Amino acid sequence: MASSLTSRLVHLNPITKHTPTKLNPLKNSSSFYFSLPSSLNSRRRAVIMSSSSSYDKQLVAAKKAASLAARLCQNIQKGLLQSDVQSKSDKSPVTVADYGSQVLVSFVLQKELPSQAFSLVAEEDSGDLRKEESQETLQRITKLVNDTIASDGTYNVSPLTEADVLTIIDCGTSEGGSSGQHWVLDPIDGTKGFLRGDQYAIALGLLDEGKVVLGVLACPNLPLESIRTSSQNTKAGCLFSAQLSCGTYMESLDGSPPVKVQ
């Protein structure tokens, strides 16, 4: 769902070694590409492109949200428990990381953009977590989320309660639409890859009046330096971001200077 909507924005894939203008597919993650609909006349296209700077604050918030969610996912994957994995009604897997990632993205966006109406179309809802047999899972998600927020140190807030976590998850049940701004999130794009210890991504995009205007892709298992060099001593974690008419950038999740992808 989220992937199909956000994939209209930017082709956010790792560049090949020594050739920064060439792109290779990233297995188990979304493909994003910049494009304005060809049906738009030139005047309308110019208006849309000239307004792109109005999304600067949203892009900063999106990068912060995806990066914090990636940190949680990295920590969970290091010590993934069998009890951390459940099956949804359609038999697809869902993990505490899916829920925790969605909570953190929703939490950060609302904290960073308090004056803006909030609408999030996301993958998960709280239905299964409200069942009695899921109480231990809910407790674990709540602890993981609070630990991640505390370790970041940005937000001076009281620890979230289990009820808070359920409420924040359900902030992602918006139906979206062609009017106004709507965030679109896949909290873990590639859950099976996550379970294998392979590649996955946190995919987040913003729609404005039905058009994709920015996107962020956090890839916790993709080392930025391995894209550029053959070094084996690199930290994992890439963050790709793009804003309408402003280009696509990549950086490490630990905050290296962004590099423009041509």
- Binding residues for Mg(2+), as ranges, are 123, 186, 188-189
Q: In whole angstroms, what separates CA 224 from the centre of its chain?
A: 17
Q: Please identify which of the residues 98, 142, 148, 248 carries the catalytic annotation.
A: 98
Q: How many CB atoms lie within 10 A of CB 13?
A: 24
Rounded to whole angstroms, the Cα distance separating 258 from 44 reads 30
Provide DSSP, the chain. -HHHHHTTS----PEETTEEEEE---TTS--------TTS-HHHHHHHHHTGGGGHHHHHHHHHHHHHHHHHHHHHHHT--GGGEEE-TTS-EEEHHHHHHHHHHHHHHHHH-TTS---EE-S--STGGGSGGGHHHHHHHHHHHHHHHHHH-----PPPPHHHHHHHHGGGB----SSSEEEEEEEEE-HHHHHHT---EEEEEEEETTEEEEEEEEEEEEEHHHHHS--SS--EEEEEEEETTTEEEEEETT-PPPEEE-
- Which residues, other chains included, contact 179 with Cβ-Cβ below 8 Å and sequence gap of 6+? 209, 210
Q: Which of 6, 191, 208, 248 is catalytic?
A: 191
Please give the span between the terminal C-alpha atoms of the chain, in angstroms, as a whole number.
28
Active site residue 173: no
Residue 91 contacts residue 71 (beta carbons within 8 Å): no
Catalytic annotation present for 98: yes
Annotated binding-site ranges:
123, 186, 188-189
Residues with a known catalytic role: 98, 191
